[in-house]
A and B are shown apart, each in its own frame.
Chain A
């Protein structure tokens, strides 16, 4: 009877400790300069994406051939492209595609990768070996090469690019999740939950997952930066977003031909990619510092 009470106590304490840890992280976040700067840039990106229709001065796909290849001016702050489309409006709308692709592909990679890591670490044995081998195989391909290969086989397009990016990054989440799951699996509160008759799913999602979320979230924030870069690369080579949709990568590709006569077509979308990726990198670095004090300032 005593052990049963002890078991219930342990399971309850796990939830308390997890909640306590998260609240301390949330309290510490505003004090971390990296997190603050990164969050500010990411917030700007989110606002641009949500309010693109209001903030963009022109329709991003509207062609005004008489205004083609005009340099930056008060009418067109970032100039116009070869069809007379406003580069500023296209750059603002590009944030919507960049963020949309990054969030959807990383969402898929996060859920699939973490779930596989959770199962591999918790079940162990042959399941762990099989999942590990599949992940090893996916890790054997250089990231962009695999993304290009999958996009090429599925066909060029935004949705296929999302799937390609998700497949490429899922192993990362699987590997990040597996180690901490194995460590948590060996802890007393998990043993107590199992002894109390909790099913595997309940133990994995109720007692283990909350305790391994921190490294996964850090990984996700850094991976979002990679996802933006990968989408831009795929669009740049013609395998991602297709014209006339205003993806930053597609815009850079279109600007290549006019590098000497209309460099603004290449400069501003590139700056937008850099700023977005920089924001997520800062956020990831800051979160990593907060969650692992040993790495602070490294």
Chain B
């Protein structure tokens, strides 16, 4: 297992390097340079200012040296400094990451709580009305844009219960109860589509396992249907869900952008949008890199967990 973990961890290094290169080059997609963009919106300027700004952003050296310098800073944990606030990018991300982490974990919890039981129920009642309804509902859930669902939830609650989304976010360390009250609805809105994916995956996987020979053998031995499902089939059928959960983290991290925007939550997603509209390119670069590396690490952990649970992966 240790050897597999080591090899798998090393295997992400080239991709990680590629991601840093892609993020670095992304900022070069801007028409002109970042200095042109900056001074173009901020009034008159002298040649000296332009030179100083180019030097400040390291644009006065060849591009490969720029990348080398930037990568070296990133490796040391320096993602640059925000143009608009003058605060280090990593510090800004750190202060807002709690919200995004809480939102994505909450959404994952919602997805597991609704998706897995519904998938099991649907598989056990295959081709019944309940199964058909569950499948149609899951397909509908996959089709609802997260921001619209969030808007409709706010609308319904404000109409029926005179509820309004909280204006200020409360940290869980300050007041856990108030924090959970604020985060419940965004987590529900974001987690619904993932719940639908989990439902479909659990159903499909359980149906496949239930057709295996060892399940037939268990039935022949007289094991009760309940024991067959919960003891023999469930463990194997839930294994693929771990991989799906890893992939869905990407959806959740992306969906956090719009969910945080709708509920005015001060998370990293909203920070990205703020940076985009403020043309704060170092902050855009830093936040995108942070989210991508986080996504890669989650998938690495998922792969390692998968190998731990299913030894066939390690020796395959």
Contact = CB atoms under 8 A, between A and B. Distances in A.
A194 B21 CA distance: 39
A137 B254 contact: no
Nearest to B258: A233
A239 B145 CA distance: 16
A149 B26 contact: yes
Contacts of B214: none
Contact of A145 (B146, B261, B272): B272
Nearest to B146: A233
A166 B47 CA distance: 39
B198 interface: no
Nearest to B288: A149
A266 B249 CA distance: 28
B258 A145 contact: no
A136 B128 CA distance: 41
- By DSSP majority rule, is chain A's interface helix, strand, loop, or mixed? helix
Nearest to B249: A142
A190 interface: no
- By DSSP majority rule, is chain B's interface helix, strand, loop, or mixed? helix
Nearest to A229: B145
B145 A274 contact: yes
Interface stretch (A103-111, A178-186, A256-264): A256-264
A256 to B, nearest CB: 7
Contacts of A274: 140, 143-145, 148
Contacts of A298: 200, 203-204, 207-208
A277 B146 CA distance: 13
A141 B292 CA distance: 5
A34 to B, nearest CB: 9
A229 B258 CA distance: 12
A266 B262 CA distance: 13
Contacts of B258: 144, 233, 236-237
A253 to B, nearest CB: 9
Nearest to A154: B29
Interface string A201-233: 000000000000000000000000100010011
Contact of B18 (A136, A238, A267, A270): A136
Contact of B15 (A137, A142, A236, A266): A137
Contacts of B127: 297
A107 B129 CA distance: 38
B154 interface: yes
Interface size, B (range): 35 or more
Given A137-B15, A140-B19, A281-B143, A145 B292 contact: yes
Contacts of B249: 142
Given A141-B288, A266-B148, A278 B207 contact: no
B113 interface: no
B44 to A, nearest CB: 24
Interface string A233-255: 10011110000000001001001
Given A270-B148, A298-B204, A143 B143 contact: no
Contacts of B146: 233
Contacts of A137: 15, 18-19, 21-22
Contacts of B207: 298
A162 interface: no
Contacts of A187: none
B139 A278 contact: yes
Interface of B: 14-16, 18-19, 21-22, 26-27, 29-31, 126-127, 139-140, 142-148, 151-152, 154-155, 158, 200, 203-204, 207-208, 249-251, 253-255, 257-258, 261-262, 272-273, 276-277, 284, 288, 291-292, 295-296
15 contacts: A133-B15, A137-B15, A137-B22, A143-B250, A145-B257, A145-B292, A232-B145, A233-B147, A236-B261, A237-B261, A249-B145, A252-B151, A259-B158, A266-B155, A270-B144
Per CB-CB distance, the 3 closest pairs between chain A and chain B, nearest first, are A144-B254, A270-B148, A137-B18
